Amino acid sequence: MDFAMSLARGSSIAVVEGTQFPLRGWAQQLGAVDLTRPDDEPAQIPPRLAEAIDRLDFYGNNGFGDRFGKQQAQNILRDLCDVGALDGDIILGAMAARGASDRSVRNLAKLIEALRR
């Protein structure tokens, strides 16, 4: 996705969601227009989730691979889980839209999956 976005260089890009990686969070983060409903306003990330994504983005500089970054991400995700606001699809997609590395998204997905068990 990051490579495709760089090739678009600020112009339009059309994306079709598949089953392997939901793009709802990516679309919401970027304010993408659903071409099947072009007159609708783009969906927004709920405020509590958006604030958590900002914090995850801040702590994700090492791909959530170092101890500190992983602990911070776990705390943020646990807080979301406690209030019933943990939406992994939106979080992972939004982080990808913000330019998080593949490693970051994979590590974050593992942390989210561990909380769901």
Domain boundaries, the chain: 2-116
Other CB atoms within 10 A of residue 72 CB: 17
73 alpha-carbon distance from chain centroid: 13
For range 2-19, the mean pLDDT: 79
Is 47 a residue whose pLDDT tops 80? yes
pLDDT attached to residue 12: 82
How far, in Å, are 18, 38, 42, 85, 98 from residue 35 at the CA level? 16, 5, 10, 27, 22
As a whole number of angstroms, the distance between CA 56 and CA 28 comes to 16
For range 96-113, the mean pLDDT: 93
Nearest Cα to 26, choosing from 117, 101, 99? Answer: 99
Confidence (pTM): 0.87
